[in-house]
Amino acid sequence: MRRPIVAGALAAASILGMAAPALAQGQSCFFVTQWHGWKAADDHTVYINVDPHRTYRLDMSGACPALLDSTSVLITNNHSNSICSAIDWDLRISQGHSIVTGCIVDKMSQLTPDQAASLPKNLRP
């Protein structure tokens, strides 16, 4: 049922001369409850594991030093239960009971199985 609506919207956009938004190749959504496990490569990059077969790279818009603290916990308070792109993240890092730092996710990329397998062991979520 969703395809006719999307097809109609794309047809209307082309008739009106508007560019239709394109989904990134391989882009897929997941439920917040599906992600588990994460590793920070540095203060700008996090790899997260979603279900047993998907790994995503999150690139922050700025430095987020709390990612490098081994006691940190990632928290997300999304406006919906699914995450489809970087804008869907409301990412916070907890470093104890009272310290919570927000980090802005600028880019979210799903890794191919080969890319995920080629990550160094210390970066695999």
Residue pointed to by tokens 């609506």 = 5
Number of domains making up the chain? 1
The separation between CA 42 and the C-alpha centre of its own chain, rounded to angstroms, equals 16
Mean pLDDT check: name the lowest of 38-42, 55-59, 67-71, 97-101: 97-101
Query: Is 15 among the domain residues?
Result: no
Which domain covers residue 101, as residue numbers?
27-123
Per-residue pLDDT tens for 89-116? 988 888 876 778 889 999 999 999 999 9
**Does the pTM of the predicted model rise above 0.95?**
no
- The residues, any chain, with a CB within 8 Å of residue 67's CB and separated by 6 or more, are 40, 42, 43, 46, 60, 93, 103
Q: Is residue 63 part of a domain?
A: yes
pLDDT at position 50: 92
